[in-house]
Amino acid sequence: MRLFEYYERESFLHRLNPMAKLVAIAVLIGALTPAFDPLTPVVFLLLIVAVMWILGRIPIFYILRALLPFWAVALSFIVFNAFLYNVGRVEHPTVLFTWGSLMVTQEGIEAGFSLGIRAVCIVCTSILFIMTTDPTEFALSLIHQARIPYRFGYAILVSYRFMPMLQTEYDIIRAAHRVRGVGGRAGLKGKYHELKRYAIPLLASAIRKSERVAIAMDSKAFGALPQRTYYRTVRLRATDWFFLVAVILCTVAILLTLWRLGFLRGYGFVPQ
């Protein structure tokens, strides 16, 4: 299985309406964005990973593997804020050590950690949606629940499906080059020459596939009428509303608990 692709599995999350999951993710991101303390994003990250593992039946290995590249981004936030944090915002900053004209403070590390974990948490919500949402159901949900024009819905579906197809095409071209003895060379220069070899075949394949899709859509009179009939209709069910309400209540409960314990910072009305 490739990362950032639909993980086909029978689970509670897979059966949910895509729009219900999308609104739930928006609630989580909206709750995370104003929080500036390091503990709040950690709690939400653990919650999201647990939901993916238990309710989505996605192996914990795949979740951690998908998040692995983004920990480097989180580490960069910590490093930059440790050295470049504006200590003028703090009345009595805790200086850990100095390096020339640079000053490393505990407040800067905490701010960087909070930003980094928030970024990882937002990526984790995106992975949850991608791995548990069938692309066809997502497009139908946008048309039936979000009421977007079906032309845009099918355009989103085509673009959603094109990336895995291009990844498969890339693997085929790469394997064909290796069979012919054209191996990859190490270093940036080798990667550059490798990209040049793969670019033209990939572009040609993308053009062929787009032409086939266009011909198929024309043959089915796509766009000729303002309304279309559907073989399958995606609806909001009681479980979707239950999941959405549960996410909202759980989010509020976490924020209130952290606030009562004195950990929550941000949101304007919470003292920093």
pLDDT in tens, 215-240: 887 787 777 777 777 777 888 899 99
Question: What pLDDT shows up at residue 78?
Answer: 83
Average per-residue pLDDT in the chain?
Answer: 82
User: What size, in residues, is the chain?
Assistant: 272
For residues 111 and 81, the answer to whether their CB atoms sit within 8 Å is yes
pTM, two decimal places: 0.78
pLDDT value of residue 272: 45
Which sequence spans correspond to the domains of the chain? 12-138+236-260, 149-219
Tens of pLDDT, residue by residue over 89-126, are 666 767 767 766 677 777 778 888 888 898 899 999 98
pLDDT digit string, tens, across residues 116-165: 898 899 999 989 998 899 888 888 888 888 888 888 888 788 777 777 77
Query: 87: pLDDT confidence band, cut at 50, 70 and 90?
Result: low
Is 171:198 a contact under the CB 8 Å cutoff? Answer: no
Q: Which residue has the higher pLDDT, 237 or 80?
A: 237
What b-and-e string marks burial along 20-37, b requiring 16 or more CB atoms within 10 Å of the CB? bbbbbbebbeebbeebbb
Whether residue 173 has pLDDT greater than 80: yes
Distance (Å, whole) CA 205 – CA 208: 5
Residues paired with 102 in a beta bridge: 99
Task: Give bridge partners of residue 270 from the DSSP assignment.
Answer: 266
Please, how many CA atoms are within 13 Å of residue 213, restricted to the half-sphere of its CB? 14
Residue 72 has pLDDT above 70, yes or no: yes
Query: Residue 186: what pLDDT?
Result: 66
Residue 39 exposed, middle or buried by CB count within 10 Å (0-12, 13-18, 19+) = middle
Specify the higher pLDDT residue, 219 or 184: 219
* Residue 193: C-alpha distances to residues 21, 22, 35, 201 (Å): 42, 40, 45, 14
User: Buried b vs exposed e over 249-268: b needs ≥16 C-beta within 10 Å?
Assistant: ebbeebbeebeeeeebbbee
Q: Are strands 95-99 and 102-105 parallel, antiparallel or unpaired?
A: antiparallel
Q: Are 208 and 162 in contact (CB under 8 A)?
A: no
54 — pLDDT class (breaks 50, 70, 90): very high
